[in-house]
Structures are given as C-alpha cells and as structure tokens.
Amino acid sequence: MEFNPNSFGSRRGLKDVQNKQLSLAREHRVLEAQQIAAIQRLAAFRQQLDLQHKQLDEHFEAFEASQVLVEVQQAKFNLVNETIGTNEQSVDNLLRGLQSRLSASKKHSASLVEYNKTLVEVHALKGSLLEYNNLVLQDALPLCP
C-alpha cells in the first residue's frame, strides 16, 4: 500500500473549481428566471396589443359612422337652408354630428397612440426595435487611415 498525498494547495484549487461551478449553476438559474419573466411579459404585452387592436378597429368604425352622420346632416342642412332658410334645428343637428365625429376622432387617435406605445414595448422586449424601424448600427470607421 502506497500513500501518495495530493500536492500542496490542490484542495484549494479543487474548492475554487467547485465554487465556480456552483456560481455558474446559480447564474444559469437566474438567467432561466429572467427568461421566464420576459416570456410572461411578452405574452401579456401581446394580449394587450390584441385588445388594443380591437379597440382601434371599433373606434375607427365609430369614426366612419359619425362621418356618414355628418354627411347626412350636412345634406339636410343644405336642403333646409335652400328651401326655408336657416333653421335652428338643422344647425343643431349638424353641430351634434360634427361633435360626434370629433369625439370619435379623438378616441381613435388616443387608441392609436396606445397601440403604438404597446407595439414599441413588444419590440423593445423582443430586441427587434431597430429592425422594426429599419435601422442598422454600424461600427464607426476610423478617422485616419
């Protein structure tokens, strides 16, 4: 039976390797948790984006309907104005139609802003914001040859 002791300081090196392995495993768990959180945030943003797109469509349809209402009220106003002169009721109806169109336009614009903000968040989270906007970063060229 032969006894060959480990060389001096080898335990410290082994301990360092084990510590690095534990640290690496801990870092992997942290990265996995961050990845799961990013996926969940992306799913939530995607769901929010779908909801905002539906609202955007609804507000646009309301705007189109109010536009038709304004056109009808304008035609009635013109007809009444030509036949019997200015009528308070026809002016009031036209103004209400214009107010309705303005309100629908505001709602559509606000929903468009919210949709675009959420879209930016989705692309920022995915890391595709520059690509989405057709931007390319290039390394700086040296000033002097």
Ranges of each domain in the chain: 18-127
For residues 32-51, average pLDDT: 92
Q: What is the predicted pLDDT for the residue at 25?
A: 94
Q: What is the dihedral of CA 27, 29, 30, 35, to 10 degrees?
A: 120
Residue-wise pLDDT for 55-86, tens only, equals 999 999 999 999 999 999 999 888 888 888 77
Phi, psi of 41 (to 5 degrees): -65, -40
The residue that leads in pLDDT, 115 or 79, is 115
- Integer angstrom CA distances of residue 18 from 6, 31, 118: 17, 20, 45
The mean pLDDT of the chain is 86
3 pLDDT band, cuts 50/70/90, is low
Residue 108 confidence (pLDDT) above 90:
yes
Global pTM value: 0.66
